[in-house]
Every structure is written in structure tokens, then in C-alpha cells.
Amino acid sequence: MARIAFIGLGNMGGPMAGNLAKAGHTVTGFDLSPAALDAARARGVSVAADVAEAVKDAEVVITMLPSGKHVVAATQGLFAAAPKGTLFIDSSTIDVASARVFHEAGKTAGHETVDAPVSGGVGGAEAGTLTFMCGGAPETFAKAEPLLVLMGKKIVHCGDAGAGQAAKICNNMILGISMIGVCEAFVLGEKLGLSHQALYDVASTSSGQCWSLTSYCPVPGPLPASPANRGYAPGFAAALMLKDLKLSQEAAGQAGAATALGAAASDLYAAFEADGNAGKDFSGIIEWIRTRAG
């Protein structure tokens, strides 16, 4: 059993750390929020007074923090305080450039590093069914994988340093674009007198089929479990979708990739958020599109 330090015990990190503790590992956690520390304690995680205490005997350090700047800042102290040769796994969703800084700084400090962002949301974190997208050396990935399987059901090694973050933002750019496409089709269908169910029955078995339609339908009715049936309570909040779309656009700019639809999706989610919808599920953008129609 490994000695694991878990830094960032929020909505995702708390249940992930809990699943590692449940599997019998010794998990010591740290978070800046006292409420997050209390919740983690209830999940079987020991709580440290600061990051140095959390990592002093660690064999593995997992970070689950809000953004690239948090990861780069927090890992400076973590790399210095952890024993040499510690395996660092960063599961936060961050920009590819910060992920590469994380890898470089870790290597310079004598550690091994993997970027391993996730998809699957809070429900997946609770159930231990996340998808992990990993970047790093194959031998380092091989050391991380036995721990990741305790928190996820699908673990993919995507390539070298930063490849996990690259896969995550490419996937979520598809998701943002496809959700807007599905919403626009339902709003157009309404204007043309088509029922939601009729459009769903056709598109779900035709070439318009996609996850946004058949797993997360943005209108109430066809899929009773989708957030549309509960007033667009998240789910996956619009603010998080906008964060990932912005990361995709930052990466596209740096890499010189043409992503016209990614840029349009990013602008639309930015406008949706500016109108007070940051906390709504991202499929709720259909209501906003409807008000702009015609």
C-alpha cells in the first residue's frame, strides 16, 4: 500500500482521495478550505496542517487544483518538500503550457511526473468511474496506472508531457461545439413546428447522432436523466465548459491550429456566462439561444 499525499480536496479531489483511502492506501490530504478538509476526513483521509507536512513521507503526490497558475505555484513548494523520486500526478484541468512547466520543474527537482486530467464529473469521481487522459514517460505512466484504476474505469496514455491535457481540451472542444449544434437544431425545429420527441427520434438514429444529443439531451422529455429535466442544475457547469473552451483557444493560438467553431463556441459560452448563467448546466445554453432566435 502506498503513502499518498492528495492536494486539493474539492468537489473532485475529495471523492477521489476517498476512493484511494477506501482501497487501503494511506492518504494524507491538504486543502486551503477547512470545509473541504472536514469532508475529506469523513472519507477516511488524514488531514495535514500544511503542504510540507502532507508530502514529507509521500511516495506519490496527487494534485487536483482549479487552474494552471494554482498548479505551478503549489507544486513549487511540493517539489521542494517531497522526498526525491516521488511520483507526482496532476489531475487538474490546466493549459498545456503550464502542464509542461509542471513536468520540467518536477524533473529538475528529481521527481517523476504525469499529467492526468479527467472527465466524468463529480458523479464519476464519487463512483470511481472517471476517464483519465495521461501524458508522461511510459515507465512513469506505468507506475501511476495502478492508482488511477482505483479512481477511474478508463485510463489512456496519450503520449509525452502535456498530452493528457491536450486530449482533454480537444475532447471538450468537441463537446462544446456539439452541444451548441444540438441546441440550435432543437430551437430551429421548434420554429418549424417539429416536436422535441420527433427530432430526437430521427436525429438519435441518424447522422446527427452525438453524445450531446443521446446522453445529455438539452430539452426535457427524451432523456429523463439529463439536466434539462431538472431546470438545468449541473451536471457540468457552464463556467467549467467556458474554462475548457478558453484553454482550447489558447492552445490553438499557440499551436497555429484553425478552430473557427471552437472560437465561436467559446464566444457563445462567454456571452451565456456574462448573462448570469455561470452556475447553470452547460446544456442550459439552449434557453439563451431560444431567447435570441428570430
Under rule CB under 6 A, residue 134 binds ligand NAD? no
Under rule CB under 6 A, residue 246 binds ligand NAD? no
> CB-wise, 52 or 240, nearer to ligand NAD?
240
> CB-wise, 189 or 262, nearer to ligand NAD?
262
Q: Is residue 168 annotated as a catalytic residue, yes or no? A: yes
Q: Identify the bridge partners of residue 159 per DSSP, sorted by sequence position.
A: 135
Under rule CB under 6 A, residue 122 binds ligand NAD? yes
> CB-wise, 112 or 281, nearer to ligand NAD?
281
Closest CA to 179 of 287, 258, 291, 260: 287
Under rule CB under 6 A, residue 121 binds ligand NAD? yes
> CB-wise, 120 or 189, nearer to ligand NAD?
120
Under rule CB under 6 A, residue 180 binds ligand NAD? no
Rg (CA), the chain: 20
**CB atoms inside a 10 Å sphere around CB 24:** 11
DSSP codes, 59-119: SEEEE--SSHHHHHHHHHHHHHHSPTT-EEEE-S---HHHHHHHHHHHHHTT-EEEE--EE
In angstroms, the first-to-last Cα distance of the chain is 61
Closest CA to 13 of 107, 68, 105, 93: 93
**Which amino acid is residue 137, in one-letter code?**
A
Give the C-alpha separation, 90 to 71, whole Å: 8
Under rule CB under 6 A, residue 32 binds ligand NAD? yes
- List 92, 98, 212, 277, residue binding ligand NAD (CB under 6 A): 92
Supply the minimum distance, in Å, between the C-beta of residue 223 and ligand NAD.
19
Judged by CB under 6 A, how many residues of this single chain contact ligand NAD?
26
Residue nearest to ligand NAD (CB): 10
Each residue 45-84 as x (binds ligand NAD by CB under 6 A) or -, in order, gives: -------------------xxx---x---x----------
CA angle 19, 147, 164 (to 5 degrees): 110
Catalytic residue among 22, 154, 168, 280: 168
Q: Near ligand NAD by CB under 6 A, which window of 27-35, 133-141, 247-255, 272-280? A: 27-35
- List 4, 5, 6, 10, residue binding ligand NAD (CB under 6 A): 10
Supply the minimum distance, in Å, between the C-beta of residue 195 and ligand NAD.
32
> CB-wise, 66 or 279, nearer to ligand NAD?
66
Give the C-alpha separation, 233 to 230, whole Å: 6
Under rule CB under 6 A, residue 118 binds ligand NAD? yes
DSSP 258: -
Segment 102-109 long-range contacts (CB within 8 Å, at least 24 positions apart): 102/71, 102/72, 102/75, 103/135, 103/136, 103/161, 103/162, 104/161, 105/72, 105/75, 105/76, 105/79, 106/75, 106/79, 109/79, 109/80, 109/84
Supply the minimum distance, in Å, between the C-beta of residue 44 and ligand NAD.
18
Positions annotated as catalytic residues are: 168
List of residues contacting ligand NAD (CB under 6 A): 7-13, 30-33, 36, 64-66, 70, 74, 92-93, 118-119, 121-122, 236, 240, 243
